[in-house]
């Protein structure tokens, strides 16, 4: 019978080594796997709940945006001279034709209420009954009827419960198109939030949305069946932010308020939990496999270590035992001290080689890290490294951190005109100027394309704004950049945002600095702007106007290029006249709007020459009286062209009157003195100066000093005497300003 010596087995060195290895390996592993599983599950659950609430907030913003669109539609229909008259006449047939019988199909509207200031409903669509006054009793709608929203204001929009249904509504008073006069009534447009509407939102934005009002629920068709099956859960979880709907769905909700800021129910987002559940299963499965694999590896290592360590030791023990049994002295074949020295030397040499290798690898890794964090063109830090630096500064407790978001104005136009090689040279020089201007405590990043970011810590907003201004002015003054761009001024717009005041998240902070930069561009470019919460609304309100201005500027550039191409002797005459005009405007501290109007007017000042025959423009001898009269007619032709491009009378007057004289002997209207618009007087000086320093078919160009002398001779007769010396000083300083 086989007998096992338990005591001997427990005292066996190989058994002990194996047992210890298993304990040391398995216990930490099991602990790690258990804790990791718990932490991962908790992390994913927290992330899931945070994500669903975030989506609910975003979904609510979608409905707010829909309300704003309805508000704009109501305003477009309410601020109307014809409606202003018809509401007084109570012309119900006209209202039916133009509203209740037409608007629902054309605008997808489910609710229309048009009432006069006496709260009489003149026209309606979608009311429970024709004269239902329920909506008009709402506090906000009633205040519009009372005339508290007269004038150019943001009129109310939002949600409203009516007849047991939830609507998105937009409201507008009935005013004249110039906002004059008192309100004569109200226009209310609404869209019903029903299953079809929510299904459309789901298809457009990917959100499964559910609205609740007490025990009433409305959802899209995709999740309506699940709602019906779990209606009891929904009713019981009315006050919870998040809860589970069955095993495979999670619901997150936020309270929603109506147009009068009264709570009307909750908005829920329904999301699948498939990813979370599959991730949990995968984590548990992998944990089990890792445990089995680790145990197997530990057992194999124990067996192998027994072969490497225990067996030789046992053989040595046996040899010693044999020697002892024979009672012979133990003899070790060794070289004594010399062998120890050689071993020590070899060990030291090996360690030195290891240290050398480690140092070399560290140096190589440092170089690789530097390369991976650096932009190849400008040698500045790159986009990825920005977030690493930001998070590191946050961990170190740096407060505040100011972000400057810099964007080169009209850089695409520079690339289109001069090519990408010149564009790259300008990018490198802009990067150098930003680096020099940001001082020692600033980290500079090329964020992407023509965008740069400066990160400052231990600076307040005031000193950071001054650094931003230094960057802007130094780029504007850079002679090197002007040489690259062939005297076309290159400028930059900069937005500033602060951590933690504006945001505690790096990406969100960048977005807010970007909005401030965009706001600077909307207001004329070549500016620095600090972010505030009102900027979002202003950008939204002014976006259409900004696009129109951009189109007008691009159109003016295209026309000026066509004009300059017609006269090869003057080259970029229109562009340079614009540059000189804006130089003078900057010295005169004109407003942003004045400089914008001056820019367009200067670009278009010679647009009438399109209608002048080439043989007259290129004639190398003196013009006849008849030819001179034809040339003079270009101001009238320009007036007729400009009024179709720009409706602004200041721009049109600049084109028409830039050849008027201070003494009244100019053309076409014979204006004199300050009766000549200031924009036209500025262009007159700039136009004459550039004409004098340019070669003409009938004469050589004058030097700069000769041109200055001619300007001085004619101030008070041809030119405004108050502008000439300021203009000469400005040109001598040679400061470039944006004209694109």
Q: Which domains are present in the chain?
A: 48-274 (3.30.450.20), 381-532 (3.30.70.270), 549-733 (1.10.3210.10)
Closest by CA position to 476, among listed 104, 214, 734: 734
How high is the pLDDT of residue 40?
Answer: 63
Q: Are strands 401-408 and 451-457 parallel, antiparallel or unpaired?
A: antiparallel
Count of positions (residues) in the chain: 740
* DSSP letter (8 states) at residue 96: I
Residue that the structure tokens 């629902």 belong to: 104
Report the run of H or E that residue 631 belongs to, with start and end.
Answer: helix 625-632
Q: Is the dihedral of CA 11, 13, 18, 21 positive or negative?
A: positive
CA 113 from centre of chain? 38
Q: Give the bridge partners for 480, in sequence order.
A: none
Residue that the structure tokens 């190989």 belong to: 14
Q: Percentages helix, strand, coil for the chain, rounded to the nearest 5?
A: 60, 15, 25
Residue that the structure tokens 């609205």 belong to: 211
With a cut of 50, list the residues of the chain below it in pLDDT.
Answer: 1-2, 327-341, 343-344, 347-348, 569, 735-740
pTM: 0.43
How high is the pLDDT of residue 565?
Answer: 66
The tokens describing 193, both together, are 């939030």
Neighbours of 228 (CB within 10 A): 11
The answer to whether residues 115 and 185 touch, using CB atoms and an 8 Å cutoff, is yes
Residue that the structure tokens 């100027």 belong to: 433
């Amino acid at each position: 019978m086989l007998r096992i010596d338990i005591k001997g087995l427990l005292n066996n060195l190989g058994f002990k080594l194996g047992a210890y290895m298993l304990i040391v390996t398995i216990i930490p592993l099991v602990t790690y796997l258990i804790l990791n599983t718990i932490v991962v599950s908790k992390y994913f659950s927290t992330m899931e709940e945070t994500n669903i609430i975030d989506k609910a907030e975003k979904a609510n913003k979608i409905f707010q945006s829909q309300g704003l669109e309805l508000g704009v539609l109501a305003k477009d229909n309410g601020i109307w001279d014809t409606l202003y008259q018809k509401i007084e006449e109570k012309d119900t047939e006209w209202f039916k034709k133009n509203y209740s019988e037409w608007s629902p199909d054309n605008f997808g509207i489910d609710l229309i209420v048009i009432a006069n200031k006496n709260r009489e409903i003149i026209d309606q669509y979608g009311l429970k009954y024709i004269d239902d006054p329920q909506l008009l009793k709402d506090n906000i709608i009633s205040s519009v009827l009372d005339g508290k929203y007269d004038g150019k204001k943001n009129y109310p929009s939002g949600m409203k419960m009516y007849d047991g249904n939830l609507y998105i509504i937009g409201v507008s008073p009935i005013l004249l198109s110039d906002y004059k006069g008192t309100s004569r009534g109200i226009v209310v447009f609404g869209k019903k939030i029903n299953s079809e509407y929510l299904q459309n939102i789901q298809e457009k934005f990917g959100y499964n949305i559910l609205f609740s009002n007490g025990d009433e629920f409305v959802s899209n068709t995709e999740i309506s069946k699940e709602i019906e099956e779990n209606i009891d859960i929904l009713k019981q979880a009315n006050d919870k932010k998040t809860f589970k709907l069955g095993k495979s769905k999670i619901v997150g909700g936020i309270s929603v308020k109506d147009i009068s800021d009264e709570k009307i129910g909750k908005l829920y987002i329904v999301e699948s939990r498939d990813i979370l559940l599959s991730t949990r299963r995968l984590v548990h499965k992998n944990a089990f496999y890792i445990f089995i694999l680790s145990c197997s590896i530990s057992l194999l290592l124990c067996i192998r270590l027994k072969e490497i360590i225990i067996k030789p030791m046992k053989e040595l023990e046996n040899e010693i035992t044999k020697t002892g049994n024979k009672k012979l002295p133990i003899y070790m074949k060794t070289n004594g001290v010399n062998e120890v020295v050689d071993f020590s030397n070899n060990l030291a040499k090996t360690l030195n080689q290891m240290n050398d290798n480690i140092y070399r690898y560290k140096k190589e890794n440092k170089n690789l890290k530097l390369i991976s964090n650096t932009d190849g063109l400008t040698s500045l830090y790159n986009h990825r490294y920005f977030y690493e630096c930001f998070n590191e500064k946050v961990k170190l407790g740096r407060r505040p951190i100011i972000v400057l978001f810099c964007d080169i104005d009209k850089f695409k136009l520079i690339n289109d005109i001069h090519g990408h090689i010149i564009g790259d040279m300008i990018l490198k020089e802009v990067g150098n100027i930003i680096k020099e201007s940001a001082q020692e405590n600033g980290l500079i990043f090329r964020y992407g394309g023509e965008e740069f970011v400066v990160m400052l810590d231990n600076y307040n907003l005031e000193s950071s704004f001054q650094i931003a201004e230094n960057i802007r002015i130094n780029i504007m003054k850079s002679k090197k950049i002007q040489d690259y761009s062939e005297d076309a001024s290159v400028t930059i717009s900069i937005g500033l945002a602060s951590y933690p005041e504006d945001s505690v998240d790096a990406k969100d902070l960048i977005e807010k600095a970007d909005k401030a930069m965009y706001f600077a561009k909307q207001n004329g470019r070549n500016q620095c702007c600090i972010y505030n919460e009102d900027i979002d609304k202003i950008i939204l309100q002014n976006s259409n106007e900004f696009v129109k201005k951009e189109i007008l500027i691009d159109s003016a550039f295209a026309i000026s290029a066509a004009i300059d191409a017609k006269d090869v002797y003057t080259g970029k005459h229109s562009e340079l006249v614009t540059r000189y005009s804006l130089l003078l405007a900057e010295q005169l501290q004109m407003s942003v709007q004045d400089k914008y109007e001056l820019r367009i007017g200067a670009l278009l000042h010679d647009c009438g020459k399109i209608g002048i025959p080439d043989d007259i423009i290129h004639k190398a001898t003196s013009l006849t009286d008849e030819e001179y009269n034809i040339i003079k007619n270009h101001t009238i032709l320009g007036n007729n062209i400009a009024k179709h491009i720009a409706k602004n009378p200041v721009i049109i007057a600049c084109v028409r009157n830039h050849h008027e004289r201070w003494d009244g002997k100019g053309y076409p209207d014979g204006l004199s003195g300050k009766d000549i618009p200031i924009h036209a007087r500025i262009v007159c000086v700039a136009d004459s100066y550039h004409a004098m320093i340019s070669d003409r078919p009938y004469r050589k160009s004058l030097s700069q000093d000769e041109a200055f002398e001619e300007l001085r001779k004619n101030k008070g007769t041809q030119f405004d005497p108050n502008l000439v010396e300021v203009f000469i000083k400005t040109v001598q300083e040679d400061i470039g300003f944006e004209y694109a």
